[in-house]
Chains A and B, each alone.
Chain A
Amino acid sequence: MAECCGSKQTEAGSGSCCGGDKKKTVLVYACSGGANVAEIADKAARELMFGGCGTMFCLAGLGAGIPGMIQMAKDADVNLVIDGCPVDCAKKVFERAGVTNFAYVKVTDLGIEKKKGIRCTPEQIEQVVAKCREVLAAQK
Chain B
Amino acid sequence: MKKLQVLGTGCPKCKKMAESAEAAAKAAGIEYTLEKVTDISEIMKFGVMITPALVVDGVVKVVGKVPDVEAIKSMLA
Contact = CB atoms under 8 A, between A and B. Distances in A.
Interface of A: 1-6, 15, 17-19, 25, 57, 61, 66-72, 75-76
Contacts of A72: 47-50, 53, 63-64
Contacts of A67: 46-47, 59-60
A5 B51 contact: yes
A52 to B, nearest CB: 16
Contact of B9 (A6, A17, A69): A17
The binding surface of chain A is classed by DSSP as loop
Interface string B39-77: 010011011111111000001111111000000000000
Contacts of A18: 11-13
B65 A75 contact: yes
Contact of A2 (B12, B13, B48, B60): B48
B64 A68 contact: no
Contact of A19 (B12, B62, B63, B65): B12
B40 A6 contact: no
Contact of B49 (A3, A17, A19, A70): A3
A37 to B, nearest CB: 27
Given A6-B65, A17-B11, A71-B60, 5 more contacts: A17-B9, A18-B12, A18-B13, A75-B62, A75-B64
A6 B64 contact: yes
A69 B43 contact: no
Contacts of B43: 2
